[in-house]
Chain A
Amino acid sequence: EADIYQTPRYLVIGTGKKITLECSQTMGHDKMYWYQQDPGMELHLIHYSYGVNSTEKGDLSSESTVSRIRTEHFPLTLESARPSHTSQYLCASGLGAGETDTQYFGPGTRLTVL
């Protein structure tokens, strides 16, 4: 069983607010990822990190930012939320590299921006 946690699980917020979505894992994985998923659609990679102080943008452009100050923690921040940011945000971690590319997901945060 993967030990990866996300808070909050659900968030409804007004336009223009700053929000931070938390993600923590206790598996000691170096690699962590943020995905965005809309209903009926594939998961889109928006950020990833290969370790402390490493962050990269993913394949889908996002106005969010991330930080990786500690191995176990990979928060995502939106400085000014907009209705177009309404989506499910999924955090994952993994060992990476070929056959060990399996990623383990947290429960997700369902964000609604009014």
Chain B
Amino acid sequence: DQQVKQNSPSLSVQEGRISILNCDYTNSMFDYFLWYKKYPAEGPTFLISISSIKDKNEDGRFTVFLNKSAKHLSLHIVPSQPGDSAVYFCAASAGDDKIIFGKGTRLHILP
């Protein structure tokens, strides 16, 4: 039973536009959420995180929004750039030093 769900396996966005990646979770004990970016043949790279006490966290072109009542978070990338083409993993932790990952969304930035 998946606790972290990324329902879109892939997403294509025009360069310069906004990319929105979505993630849903089922475990109400999760209190820390992370996004990782992964290029082929490389390990995931930490991108941005958010604590459950916040509803928004911003870092440059990347913003993560958390809606606790809906158990939903999203990653916004604006403006999207060619180097953003990668697989993005949503992940969550319940404070037990373990991270649960979603299956990932492959983002294609189109020229």
Contact = CB atoms under 8 A, between A and B. Distances in A.
Interface stretch (A11-19, A75-83, A96-104): A96-104
B42 A101 contact: no
B12 interface: no
A66 interface: no
A45 B51 CA distance: 22
A94 B97 CA distance: 9
A50 B41 CA distance: 27
Contacts of B4: 42
A102 B46 CA distance: 8
B46 A43 contact: no
B45 A45 contact: no
B32 A43 contact: no
Given A41-B103, A42-B4, A42-B89, A101 B9 contact: no
B58 to A, nearest CB: 17
A74 interface: no
Interface in B81-111: 89, 93, 95, 97-99, 101-104
Nearest to A1: B45
Contacts of B51: 99
A101 B44 contact: no
B104 A42 contact: yes
Contact of A45 (B46, B98, B104): B98
B98 A48 contact: yes
Contacts of B93: 98, 101
A101 B97 contact: yes
Given A98-B31, A98-B95, A103 B102 contact: no
